[in-house]
Structure 1
């Protein structure tokens, strides 16, 4: 089934994978490696580029002319979707949750630069806004294709199932864990499926940046179980996942002091720029687990950098 899926070229793969030697020494913990999916190459990169290679291939197969997607005003997914649509010559309409910013900055600035039409709405009005756009596009004779927030589809998960195989091909060493931020849960879902397809002792660890444990389990299972059904695999259960929800703070997109400290730490130790919404919180979680002795000093741990750099300019 996977070999038959269409995929278009949008990013530069494989992305680099290298050791964070200074950080590992500083923490006196395991050897920490980083997978640089912030360097996927499309409009400042990020993990959504992998997903869009599969999702937009499906959109083109369905003769789509307008891409509609949803996200927060600060959404990395929205920015990467706008960029991909521009490359493919498609219209892009972004339904963004939250008030329209008084100042254009970060991803919201880039959305406009990339030519997307942006509609800032309240969370409860998202479905109505999407339906209205689909109807307006239909009246213009345009075919719409709707991508859920974060590319939260089986195709999005399959992209990171394939990314896990890329990691295995790049890495002669075994990893005790692969650590990623959990937003919609699609990237985590794909890594879980990848580990299931390449069974070893690696644990896929997710650091939630917004959702509670029940929400994370539910959203991850939505896409994981659908892919498993297509592959005729045994269905995963919530107890198969390793999700930590201790590092959310006051909520999604809300930055707290420890996130800012860790962003500075990575910048000054490794020259790596994390973002305040996803990778900053995920690295807070990883460092806390290391200091608590969750990993042995002789182990290797891989951190997935999912991108998000533009939001640093909104701090």
Structure 2
């Protein structure tokens, strides 16, 4: 019996990006380029500062460096190609390039969900169970948590990507979006996408909903613990240790819900692309800004680092 396999009848996609005038396209190109450079510099700075300072060698900052790595991977997956698309008013992408871009997008998003969950657990232990924090959150356990989150993201999203790659794409091949997102790919497929959508729904449980649930449970316990602290100073100090993480979690999930869960019927393509731009290019920049501006230890380390750099 001859073995039959699915294959793609289309080997090139046309990614349109923002279809604007040349003047607006140049302005948009400059904006994306500036955001990309700032995102790389901000996240690399956090990684350097945490590696440089002994005072930042704690679980919370170790997890923060992993979040920065995830943000760098995300923005590097989207921004360089988007810059070319914006400047050229569209780009022809091979089927393989499109699938690879999709894979790195969903892989980094999955890793960010899991890392945010781990960081919330870290804050829960630090505030609700401080006596056992050092014993539980030792270096070995932190490395295991991070390794598992990356491995889970890499292999789980590979399954999802392979499933999409084996769909048939018979035409048209126009992707009216800023990157190869799953919704755009499924619209172009001439295969039955029910099983793919079912698979994505099942994967969203351990990737999205379970981490979000655990984050909410952690912060519920944290809130009750902070309310029991007798002094206002103690409450403020305890809240300040998790306020930055809570801000990042809120921004991440709010943008995720707005883009993928709210009804898109009647929503203009320009609005959809703008929201995706904010999510893929803007959010990776917001994370280091929040952690640098609202964290006294990082600001102090940054000043010390600058002093030593300029002295030498």
TM-score by length of 2: 0.25
TM-score by length of 1: 0.25
**Structure with more of its chain in helix, by fraction:** 2
Q: Which has the higher contact order (CA 8 A, sep 6+)?
A: 2
**Structure with more of its chain in strand, by fraction:** 1
Larger radius of gyration: 2
